[in-house]
Structure 1
Amino acid sequence: MKNITKWFLFMTLWMATACDSLLNIDPEFTQDAENFFNTKEDFDRAIIGVYDMMQPAYLNIWIGEIASDNSIAGGESVNDTRGLHEIENMTHGGVNQELRAVMRVNYTGISRANYIFENQDKIDFEGKDLILAEAKFMRAYFYFNLVTYFGDMPLVVDRRISINEIPSTPRAPRAEIYAQIESDLQEAVDVLPATASEVGRLTSGAAMALLGKALLYQQKFAEASTVLGNLIDSNPGGYALFDDYTTLFYAANQNISEDVFTVQFSGLQGGDYGCLICLNGNAAVGFQGIRQYTGPFYADGNAYNLPTQDLYDAFAEGDIRRDASVLNLDEFIAAQPNADEITYGIGAGGHTGFFNNKYIKRQGEVGLPDDDLTSPLNYRVIRWADVLLMAAEAFQQAGNDDRARIELNKVRARVDMPAITSSGDALYQAILEERRFELSGEGYRFFDLVRTGQAADRIDGFVVGKNELFPIPQVEIDLAGGNWSQNPGY
């Protein structure tokens, strides 16, 4: 996190790296509850350790786009990050490094949060309630990711479990996990401040937004409309749409009024390719840069997560979000005065001619070497436009078309697009289309298609009854003694 001292707290039951085994022995220098959680500073360091596990956000950006009709995997070859190519082609199974990393990262975050709750009664101090509220928020966020990707998952609350307990810890039904998510977020709403005391800290508005999203994903439309409507009407954080969409995703325009829930990154500390989830920079940015590029404005990268022609063509004429979201590289080069001097490479993993123009490496926005791995571009998990569109969807599905149009047209007005006047299903479809135009490249598309029942019509190779969920990593099933069932179809 920016402005908060980074500290890698301790190794946990679920390790976050794709190369390590699920169960690891803690190193000798690890602090434990016997000599930790004895001061306020210990709790401060512990909560930063939980924040740290939100930083592998590149996984959500990649998978949420590549699994959909918005992007292909790209890269050096089909063997370069093979798991992403399998996800693109809907041929992924229980052996997939990217999906395994999703599970392990989120359970590591949960375990770190639960460790705080195990020791919450050791001491009292001013501000402990805020730390516990932050831990509840992040635990809810990690469980939301897990239930969205995998469905039923083991539910562990307020404690860590021993190695011996794993085989006897069943996958809990999604309804139980969502109930825990809702409980954690409601408690966080009641305690977290309206505005953060430090850049990157969580707020009550962020908790309300994530709660509304969790309700929307469960199709609890009336409840979601109430929560999101209250957030919009009360606007505790002074949220607003940023005026210039074309520069919204520039580093200069971070931590602004549009940012509701953001994962912070820094370009000041490096890492290596052996542990992408260990980075303090946003790995998605360098990986999504232009391969072997020499030219103005942009910087070279690895050409992952390449937008499709279908996405580019979907935007209406005159919608400035098309070029702000999707870089048409050849068109950009042709418009430069030195076009003949600009070069780039094409990887064997696929090429569309388009690049993710939101999370892309630009000159002047790179971190320390290796600058592929140290981008300072934050990941906007939820921004105000998303809140407005989620509210529009919830209101429409709850029977309030008038309010739905109001929230939808706020988003369209920002980019000078004409107001939508339709009602009923036509309005609902317009809202879903608007989510694609407004949020493309940000990691939401696959999950939007799945939860609205449109995935089979939009994604080649999508199998109904199977691909709504991703498979449980087989190695984790094995480590659980085979007592976790695999998701249907895998």
Structure 2
Amino acid sequence: MKTLFKFKKMTVALMATLMVGVSCSDEFLEVLPTGSLADAQVGTKDGIEGLLIGTYAALNGTDGNRFEGPNHWVTGSIMGGDANKGTDAGDYGDINPIQRYETSATSGDLNQLWQARFEGVSRANAVLAAIAASEELSTSDAAILAGQARMLRGHFYFDLTKHFGDVPVFDETLSAVEIVEVPRSSAWAQIEADFQFAADNLPATMSDAGRVNSWAAKAYLAKALLFQGKFGAAIPIFTDVINNGVTTNGLAYDLLDDYAQIYNAENDNHAEAVMDVESANNSGSTQNANWFDDLNYPYNTGADGPGNCCGFFQPSFSMANSFRTDATGLPLLDGSYNDPANALENDFGLESADAFTPDAGNLDPRIDHSVGRRGIPYLDWIPHPGKAWIRSQPYAGPYSPKKYIYYKSQENSFTDGSSWTRGYATMNYTIIRFADVLLMAAEAEIEAGSLPTAMGYVNRVRARAANSDYWVKTEFGNPAAPDAANYVISEYPASQFADQASARTAVRMERKLELSGEGHRFFDLVRWGVAATELNAYLQYEAQFLQTKFAGASFTAGKSELYPIPQAQIDIQGPDILPQNAGY
């Protein structure tokens, strides 16, 4: 089908606002144009680099709306059952219907997400158009600049497609017309082409942190193939990345020994970072920090905890329960982790002054790197005090997030306290990390029938989690202190990977545990075709505790898998040109 897609005319004069949400290295952040770029400037390598930096900046969002952030804490994690929208019902109430799968096409947040990602596309197209018009670039420079722009454009289209499905696609050849005919069809062909070009033309390493390289492009290409069910095509690419891939600065991809160091600003650009968004503090704008997370720290912590605001992102009951392990250290793959006999002991309904003993049962040690819960040390702050850090337990439950939270020792050095909250931290957000690659590769191998290879990848991830040297202790920073909980974890036996169905169950649970709260869960459930079953069960379970939030909520198969096309965009184009997704 053809559609008319209105696209604002691009010129080579690109405003300095491209630089607002910089998401590259600190060196990039020092390049601050004070006005528009003239045509002659854009034809130079430096001028095109300026346009490219603006494209990198769009990874972090362009308008300051928290739905634009790269971590998808609402559209990926809350909607996937990892977490509840915290705080209370009256604060940021626009999220309330979204978390009940009652999303409206008139949502301003979703419209801003749409606009931000297409802004990223337009910035990438401006770079590519400038490269094509330049008479000064060497062949090598043109290829590397174009490879980065196409890698970023592929990311923006991938993000649009996984949210909205069938989206308009246009490239740099269409960027100078007001109204063009473009196919409103699957963007996958363009996504694959962009990632393939980047893989073929980018070097293996780059001089600046934050820039994409050929290995990141290969990993993303394989991910795009996996999302389409092209498992055979994805496998050799994943294998190459796993066996030979290196980070931008030349570190061989690997799992970090210490799981917690993935989320520590002092350890940014580590061996597990395949593609990330660079962050910076005290750079003149909190937009350069993790502004998209500023609402998500525990509530009302004062000097005893990070941020002091606002509790919007609270791990769910079901997510916390999922970390239960059996006597052998394996997860409860039959889903019985939510049964009363297995559900995690928590302080729901208790005051912080009330007596409480943390759960004594078997647990995956990743729980206490992922979920803040009463009585367990909260990084190097105090032990989580429970209700005192929760704005409304009856609305959002008893837990706090723990990933991508800054440490007490990092206050004012890895945080930007220049705004209304101390919660602007500066650790990189990892769009793709190596554990994710291993688990995606395991999925592909399972579908191809290579079950022993898949088991090896999954157990590699579990073996890292089982390293007791890095389990949370009762006393932060003291390796001789007792473990903070009864951690019991083991690798999967061969019997779990004896057939495809059992192997699928294992790898899907491992993604849930390993990547919890990182924005993947909703999109995983959708591509696996199990979203309706899993998420309706989740709603039913959570509603036992959070009745005012979830009573009567339901996920509608055939509708809720995609977000609605923003009505504001349909109003511009007309419904015949930009039709709404089914069910909205």
Taking structure 1 as the reference length, the TM-score comes to: 0.87
Q: Secondary structure at the match of 1:310?
A: helix
Partner of 2:391: 346
Partner of 2:491: 419
Match of 2:569 among 468, 476, 481: 476
Q: Secondary structure at the match of 2:89?
A: coil
By relative contact order (CA 8 Å, sep 6+), the higher-ranking structure is: 1
Partner of 1:241: 255
Distance in 2 between the 1:119 and 1:477 partners? 30
Distance in 2 between the 1:142 and 1:425 partners? 33
Q: Secondary structure at the match of 2:400?
A: strand
Summarize deviations over 1:340-380 as a string: whole Å, max 9, x none: 89943515893211122102344324223225563202110
Partner of 1:113: 124
Match of 1:269 among 273, 283, 300: 283
Partner of 2:160: 146
Correspondences of 1:68-467 after superposition (within 5 Å): 68-75=80-87, 77-121=88-132, 122-126=134-138, 127-161=141-175, 164-165=178-179, 169=181, 172-174=184-186, 177-237=187-247, 238-269=252-283, 271=285, 279-296=287-304, 298-315=306-323, 316=325, 317-329=362-374, 331-332=376-377, 343-344=388-389, 346-347=391-392, 350-363=395-408, 364=410, 365-370=414-419, 371-372=421-422, 374-416=424-466, 417-420=489-492, 421=494, 422-423=496-497, 424-460=500-536, 461-467=554-560
Q: Secondary structure at the match of 2:274?
A: strand
Summarize deviations over 1:99-122 as a string: whole Å, max 9, x none: 112111110011011112222232
Q: Secondary structure at the match of 1:260?
A: strand
Whether the 8 Å contact between 1:288 and 1:361 is mirrored in structure 2 is: no
Question: Structure 2: 5+ residue runs without aligned partners?
Answer: 1-23, 62-68, 326-361, 467-488, 537-553
Q: Secondary structure at the match of 1:350?
A: helix
Q: State the identity %.
A: 30
Partner of 1:485: 579
Instruction: Give 1:488's aligned amino acid.
Output: A
Summarize deviations over 1:34-82 as a string: whole Å, max 9, x none: 344221110111110100000133562332001111111123x434333
Distance in 2 between the 1:99 and 1:326 partners? 27
1:476 to partner: Cα distance: 0.8
Q: Secondary structure at the match of 1:366?
A: coil
Instruction: Give 2:84's aligned amino acid.
Output: I
Partner of 2:73: 61
Match of 1:5 among 8, 28, 35: 28
CA pair 83-221 structure 1, distance change in 2 beyond 3 A: farther
Distance in 2 between the 1:349 and 1:97 partners? 27
CA pair 171-291 structure 1, distance change in 2 beyond 3 A: farther
Partner of 2:52: 47
Partner of 1:24: none
Q: Kindly name which structure, 1 or 2, has the bigger radius of gyration based on alpha carbons.
A: 2
Whether the 8 Å contact between 1:330 and 1:353 is mirrored in structure 2 is: no
Q: Secondary structure at the match of 2:583?
A: coil
Distance in 2 between the 1:440 and 1:216 partners? 20
1:298 to partner: Cα distance: 3.3
CA pair 100-372 structure 1, distance change in 2 beyond 3 A: farther
1:236 to partner: Cα distance: 3.8
Distance in 2 between the 1:102 and 1:466 partners? 19
CA pair 428-196 structure 1, distance change in 2 beyond 3 A: same
Q: Which deviates further from its counterpart, 365-374 or 427-436?
A: 365-374
Summarize deviations over 1:263-310 as a string: whole Å, max 9, x none: 1111123547xxxxxx11112332111111135353412111211011
1:169 to partner: Cα distance: 4.3
Whether the 8 Å contact between 1:144 and 1:214 is mirrored in structure 2 is: yes
Instruction: Give 2:294's aligned amino acid.
Output: G
CA pair 200-474 structure 1, distance change in 2 beyond 3 A: same
1:8 to partner: Cα distance: 7.6
Whether the 8 Å contact between 2:305 and 2:381 is mirrored in structure 1 is: no
CA pair 8-216 structure 1, distance change in 2 beyond 3 A: farther
Q: CA RMSD in A?
A: 2.6
Q: Which deviates further from its counterpart, 351-360 or 394-403?
A: 351-360
1:332 to partner: Cα distance: 4.5
Distance in 2 between the 1:345 and 1:147 partners? 35
Q: Secondary structure at the match of 1:380?
A: strand
Distance in 1 between the 2:49 and 2:513 partners? 40
Whether the 8 Å contact between 1:295 and 1:343 is mirrored in structure 2 is: no
1:171 to partner: Cα distance: 5.5
Instruction: Give 2:198's aligned amino acid.
Output: A
1:391 to partner: Cα distance: 0.3
1:330 to partner: Cα distance: 5.4
Taking structure 2 as the reference length, the TM-score comes to: 0.74
